[in-house]
Amino acid sequence: MSIIENILAFIVVIGILVTVHEFGHYWVARRLGVKILRFSVGFGYPLWSHCFGKDKTEFMIAAIPLGGYVKMLDEREDEVAPEEVHRAFNRQSLKVRSAIVFAGPLFNFIFAIIVYAMMYMIGVTGMKAFVGDIEPQSVAEQSGFQSGYQIVAVNNKPTLHWENIIQTTLEQVLSEKDTVTYSVLTEQNRQYDLNIDLNSFTIDDIAGGKFFEKIGFKPYRPPPPAMLGKIMLDSPAQKAGFQAGDIILALDGQKVTDWYSWADYVKQRPEQKIAVDIKRNQQNLSLTVIPANVEGKGQVGVYGPTDYMIPEKYQGLEQYGLGQALVEGTKKSWEISVLTLQVMAKMLTLQVSYEHISGPITIAEFAGKTAQLGISSFLAFLGLISVSLGIINLLPVPLLDGGHLFFYLIEFIKGSPVAENTEYFLQRIGITLLLCLMGLAIFNDLERLFS
């Protein structure tokens, strides 16, 4: 079922972003007097099409949801009636053609700002940056971190969630800075700065999800209470008389503080009797359970509480009104754009592994996951992909919008269009580059999927 959900989420994400991108081309072209013949979301076999407007523009949804296009009246592709020559794309001025081509990526950036603004208006909830266990001899220990500290700012930039801290640290690594300054709040509400040495960090470490491993501490997560959720059928717990909602008070006379202490105690005692003191509906009871032996570990067949709410002390809500949300959405789009360009530059200089290039399978997986996490997470993912799509399309690669804009720049400099043979040759190179990039992305996807 999750595979189907991922595919549907992928189609929704790509469908929205392609429609936004192509609508940019369409809207600007229409406003500047160019005739539109077809607006297609997707490639290949048409699943649906209909003609609208006085120009009978065909709007189409096609079978392959990996892009789209806007087909304009153009003498280089079809014969054009004399009375409509002035509406052909190839007859437009350099400024008009450039504006039409640039509009697609521009609309992706505008859409990202709107999406991020919506996300901030709804509210972004995440775990505050409380430090958990510290690894001995780690960067964190050497810098003076202690369990219980809360990171409240990075380089004097206030932070609410771990995501902000990781992103800002990545920015410092990309900029080849030697240190980053974390402002921490102690349990006694004293605030001071700690400097982290970044010389042992690499971009691949952070991009590969090894931030906490490299820095040497774990994020603190308050443990759930020792309250039973679902009881599995024919399990030792059911046979012993446990019920959903029971609160574990003690095991063999030893007090239980949270779910982890209860689970660890059971794991260490397969096929051994355990006296369990519980609380059920304001009544204290005593039961005896014998955990099953599953690969050398004790199991009783219970789930944790599904409705457990993390205490507000550990949750951070970032929420703004419309005006400030637009400001924050613009900042977020700019930060993601700069970060993406920096990573691309590092890849070209072989300072970042190409293993981090992702394709449609990874996008589908994350689309499904963020959709399940809630609207704010899904909007954040939508904004990220929209920014990425805008940047990729502005790369000076033939067939992409950036390639066309590069040709127009040459035309502006030399005073005449690029020769058709030259443009055709460069487009073939562009197709080869894009196919190689797509092949690498899909290879990385499959390797991650089966590793």
pLDDT in tens, 265-276: 999 999 999 999
pLDDT given at position 209: 77
Band the pLDDT of 1: cuts 50, 70, 90.
very low
- Angle value at C-alpha 358, between 352 and 361, nearest 5 degrees: 160
pLDDT digits (tens, 9 = 90+) for 337-358: 988 888 888 877 777 677 767 6
Instruction: Quote the tokens at residue 112.
Output: 């990202």
Instruction: Quote the tokens at residue 409.
Output: 């720049």
C-alpha to C-alpha distance for 130 and 244, rounded to whole angstroms: 31
Query: Where in the chain are the domains?
Result: 124-222+310-318, 236-299
Distances in Å between the Cα of 321 and the Cα atoms of 71, 377, 380 are 40, 19, 17
- Look at residue 308 and tell me whether its pLDDT is greater than 80: no
pLDDT digits (tens, 9 = 90+) for 391-431: 999 988 888 899 999 999 998 998 888 887 887 888 888 88
SS3 160: coil
Band the pLDDT of 287: cuts 50, 70, 90.
very high
Across 136-160, average pLDDT:
89
Higher per-residue confidence, 79 vs 333: 333
Across 254-269, average pLDDT:
91
Predicted structure pTM score = 0.81
pLDDT digits (tens, 9 = 90+) for 4-26: 878 888 888 889 999 999 999 99
151 and 183 Cβ atoms separated by less than 8 Å? yes
pLDDT given at position 359: 66
C-alpha to C-alpha distance for 279 and 371, rounded to whole angstroms: 37
Tell me which of 3.40.30.10, 2.170.190.11, 3.30.230.70, 2.30.42.10 is the CATH number of domain 124-222+310-318: 2.30.42.10
144 and 182 Cβ atoms separated by less than 8 Å? no
**What's phi and psi for 72, nearest 5 deg?**
-110, 160
The DSSP bridge partners found for residue 316 are 126
Across 141-145, average pLDDT:
89
150 and 130 Cβ atoms separated by less than 8 Å? yes
The mean pLDDT value of the chain amounts to 87
Tell me whether the CATH fold assigned to 124-222+310-318 matches the one assigned to 236-299.
yes
pLDDT given at position 356: 66
C-alpha to C-alpha distance for 378 and 114, rounded to whole angstroms: 14
C-alpha to C-alpha distance for 243 and 229, rounded to whole angstroms: 8
Q: What is the largest CA-CA distance in the chain?
A: 95
The DSSP bridge partners found for residue 168 are none
SS3 254: strand
Q: Which CATH architecture has domain 236-299?
A: Roll (2.30)
Higher per-residue confidence, 170 vs 443: 170
Percent of the chain with pLDDT over 70: 97
Q: Where in the sequence numbering do the catalytic residues fall?
A: 22
Distances in Å between the Cα of 183 and the Cα atoms of 164, 176, 180, 266, 317 are 13, 21, 10, 40, 19
